[in-house]
Structure 1
Amino acid sequence: MTGPARFTARLRSSARIPLLQVAKSAIATVLAWIIAELVIPGTVPVFAAIAALLVVQPSVNQSVGRALERSFGVIAGVIIAFGIGVVFGQDSYVVLAAIVVAIFVGWALRLTPGSANQIPISVMLVLTIGAATPDYAFARIIETLIGAAVGLIVNILVVPPVLLAPAHAAVIALGSEIAATFERLADALRTPKTDAQLQEILLTARLLRPMQAKAQEALKDADESLAFNPRQQRYRVALDADAALFARMGPLVTRSLNMTRAVHDHYDAGLPDEPTVEPIVDELERAAHDLRLLVRADDDAPIEPDAKTEGIPLLTAPLRILTPHAEHWVLIGSLMEDLRRVHEEIVGAE
């Protein structure tokens, strides 16, 4: 990437903000300006417009937080600016000193970045574009509260976002990839593999951890999108089901990684000929099949055809097999124990 291209890449997002959110920001800004002009005539309601613009966020919960941050920051900044303006006037060095004081006030109070940054901004605006009078200071506070309230109301009333679809897709994708890992293990045990192929299987399995983290973050975003959302009761059941399914995926991720690591570390060319391996291969394939049934139980996507089944769970009771060859008993025993726990997770055994 060339220098100019790299520079412009820093200015652009990988994805556009949803058009609806842009429209809500514009609507909230215009409404806040108009309402503030009606409530406080004869002023330019900059504080109201800024507050409305900043409060409209991707979720209602974020809007509530931003409204509180913005309101507290403005009130604190206006009070500081008014006090300093009355005592020291409005010379340029006074404005600069007031901004520095405001920065340290935010640090001393351990405020969030939103509130801490808003205090010096408000101090600067009040001392530079306004007069340090009680009426002016009070008007700016009222103006900010109007803007924050308008932004919050617009975000609640105009189709508040619900982020359930990305969370559901992430959980389904995680379960499907765990099933694919079981199938790759079954193939490795049935058909001789090279060291490079075993390494590829291990590296692919390790991608489950990032997928798990992505699903967890998506569930967190979905839960946040329902907080203070008037439609939350309608969607809460679906989100709780996805969260419960994700909780069951955690041990399966660990087990699939353990089995993949064990096969990678203890593999030898004679393993596919081990008589005790074939039942384990069958069980891995059944685990993959039943896991797909589990993750798609409430999903519209069709289950891929299976020669052994027509959609009926197949996972058997824990394996009972003969004593394996001395060179393979560590691996076989490890796989049996992990499969036992996989069985418990998939069928929901206590």
Structure 2
Amino acid sequence: MRVTAGIRATHRSPILQVVKSAIAIAASWLIAGALIPGQPPVFAAIAALLVVAPSLNQSLTKAVERSIGVFTGVVIASVLGILLGGSTWVILLATVAGLLIAWALRLTPGSTNQVAISALLVLALGTATPAYAVNRVLETLIGAVIGILVNLAVVPPVAVAPARNAVMALGNELANSLERLARALESPQSAGQLHGLLVEARLMRPMKDAADNAIEVGTESLSLNPRGRKHREDLAAVQALLDRLGPIVTQTVGMTRAFADHYDASIADEPAVQAIAEQLRRAAHDVRLEVRRTDAAPLIAEHRDEPAALTAPLRVHTPSRDHWVLIGSLLEDLRRIHEALEPAS
């Protein structure tokens, strides 16, 4: 593995995030420098940089977190500096004491790091006096407030579209997997085909995880966002679709695994297997129908009243004793898929 893989992200941060950070740093430096003359407003710039986050909710959380960390670190450094002076060993003592006190108070990792950094900077850059400590705390508050205001002025984009795309992709792949399994049930399969069928079905699990993460990011982007109100209903519909698809993904992977584990060439001759294959195609149709109904695109509006296909009762002929375990397993998973696709009452 290349060394750069550990230090480079897979995707660049949005350029808007870089611009907001730069604006917040510059504004906090100028404003804090004008309001609190003397020392360079390092604490204000650091607070502004750390507070500007991809979402307003994260920005507010970081503002509180960093402010508590700076306040605690400045107090610790000031007390030790006044009592013991500004020697090098006092700086080390203040840093270690800050970490231990943050640990004892169960502060978050962000606040803990800020306690140690603030204690170190106070003693390394300034004089440990009450006035200096107060100015550094005020500086930090100014930087945090400016960071929040910049995030409010340049509202972060909502992340509903990526969540929708991830769930729609999962739904389409789920329908494809159901159809692939239906075709496999009806025709002879080689060992390679069975392995490929199972691999393709298992690929839905990382897709499901990606959809969960995308919805989490989307929810975070709407928190405290002035533009979030009109998007929350859309995201709720996407979440509801994912909640329905999740169990079907599990059952489909289970059915595929059971088929691969218990396969023999004569399974396609079972009348019950042919009926199950037809039900899987109907389930694939209904999954796509749910995806289309959730998608708000006007081009598919004519599909909204399309009836579900997985409604006819399934009549099962008694399977042979060589296949009854597999057929029973497939029928149970199919029943659960049917329940997941039933309209909510």
TM superposition score category, shorter chain reference:
over 0.9
In the alignment, structure 1 residue 10 sits paired with structure 2 residue 6:
yes
Tell me, in whole angstroms, the C-alpha distance in 1 between the residues paired with 2:8 and 2:250. 38
Moved over 6 A (4+): none
Q: What amino acid does structure 1 have at the position aligned with 2:135? A: A
Q: Is the alpha carbon distance of 1:337 and 1:318 closer, same or farther for their aligned partners in structure 2, counting shifts above 3 Å?
A: farther
Q: Which residue of 2 aligns with 1:331?
A: 326
Task: State whether residues 198 and 260 of structure 2, in contact with CA within 8 Å, keep that contact through their aligned partners in structure 1.
Answer: yes
TM superposition shift of 1:349:
5.4
Q: What amino acid does structure 2 have at the position aligned with 1:228? A: L
Task: State whether residues 318 and 343 of structure 1, in contact with CA within 8 Å, keep that contact through their aligned partners in structure 2.
Answer: no
Q: Unpaired segments of 5 or more residues in structure 2?
A: none
Q: Which residue of 2 aligns with 1:306?
A: none
Residues 283-333 of structure 1 deviation map (CA, whole Å, 9 limit, x = unaligned): 111111110111122323978xxxxxx954322234112222332222222
Q: Which residue of 1 aligns with 2:341?
A: 346
In the alignment, structure 1 residue 129 sits paired with structure 2 residue 125:
yes
In the alignment, structure 1 residue 321 sits paired with structure 2 residue 316:
yes
> Which residue among 264, 273, 280 is the counterpart of 1:277?
273
> Which residue among 69, 73, 76 is the counterpart of 1:73?
69
Residues 115-153 of structure 1 deviation map (CA, whole Å, 9 limit, x = unaligned): 001111111111111111111111110110010011111
Q: Is the alpha carbon distance of 1:56 and 1:321 closer, same or farther for their aligned partners in structure 2, counting shifts above 3 Å?
A: same
Q: Which residue of 2 aligns with 1:290?
A: 286
> Between the two proteins, what is the percent identity of the paired residues?
54
In the alignment, structure 1 residue 221 sits paired with structure 2 residue 245:
no
Q: Is the alpha carbon distance of 1:277 and 1:183 closer, same or farther for their aligned partners in structure 2, counting shifts above 3 Å?
A: same
Tell me, in whole angstroms, the C-alpha distance in 2 between the residues paired with 1:124 and 1:273. 77
TM superposition shift of 1:52:
0.4
Residue pairs, 1:187-336, within 5 angstroms: 187-299=183-295, 300=297, 312-336=307-331
Tell me, in whole angstroms, the C-alpha distance in 2 between the residues paired with 1:281 and 1:171. 25
Q: CA RMSD in A?
A: 1.9
Q: Which residue of 2 aligns with 1:44?
A: 40
Tell me, in whole angstroms, the C-alpha distance in 2 between the residues paired with 1:50 and 1:318. 66
Report the secondary structure of 2:294's partner residue.
Answer: coil
Report the secondary structure of 2:9's partner residue.
Answer: coil
Q: Which residue of 2 aligns with 1:33?
A: 29
Task: State whether residues 206 and 257 of structure 1, in contact with CA within 8 Å, keep that contact through their aligned partners in structure 2.
Answer: yes
Q: What amino acid does structure 2 have at the position aligned with 1:168? A: R
Q: Is the alpha carbon distance of 1:116 and 1:201 closer, same or farther for their aligned partners in structure 2, counting shifts above 3 Å?
A: same
Q: What amino acid does structure 1 have at the position aligned with 2:194? A: L
> Which residue among 94, 107, 111 is the counterpart of 1:111?
107
Q: Which moved more, 1:235-244 or 1:199-208?
A: 199-208
Tell me, in whole angstroms, the C-alpha distance in 2 between the residues paired with 1:349 and 1:130. 65
Report the secondary structure of 1:42's partner residue.
Answer: coil
TM-score by length of 1: 0.92
In the alignment, structure 1 residue 91 sits paired with structure 2 residue 87:
yes
> Which residue among 12, 16, 20 is the counterpart of 2:16?
20
Q: What amino acid does structure 2 have at the position aligned with 1:95? A: I
Tell me, in whole angstroms, the C-alpha distance in 2 between the residues paired with 1:127 and 1:217. 42
Q: Unpaired segments of 5 or more residues in structure 1?
A: 304-309
Tell me, in whole angstroms, the C-alpha distance in 2 between the residues paired with 1:189 and 1:266. 12
Q: Is the alpha carbon distance of 1:36 and 1:349 closer, same or farther for their aligned partners in structure 2, counting shifts above 3 Å?
A: closer
TM superposition shift of 1:84:
0.6
Task: State whether residues 290 and 314 of structure 1, in contact with CA within 8 Å, keep that contact through their aligned partners in structure 2.
Answer: yes
> Which residue among 164, 168, 174 is the counterpart of 2:164?
168
Q: What amino acid does structure 2 have at the position aligned with 1:154? A: V
Task: State whether residues 290 and 313 of structure 1, in contact with CA within 8 Å, keep that contact through their aligned partners in structure 2.
Answer: yes
Task: State whether residues 56 and 151 of structure 2, in contact with CA within 8 Å, keep that contact through their aligned partners in structure 1.
Answer: yes
Task: State whether residues 319 and 336 of structure 1, in contact with CA within 8 Å, keep that contact through their aligned partners in structure 2.
Answer: no
Q: Which moved more, 1:112-121 or 1:217-226?
A: 217-226
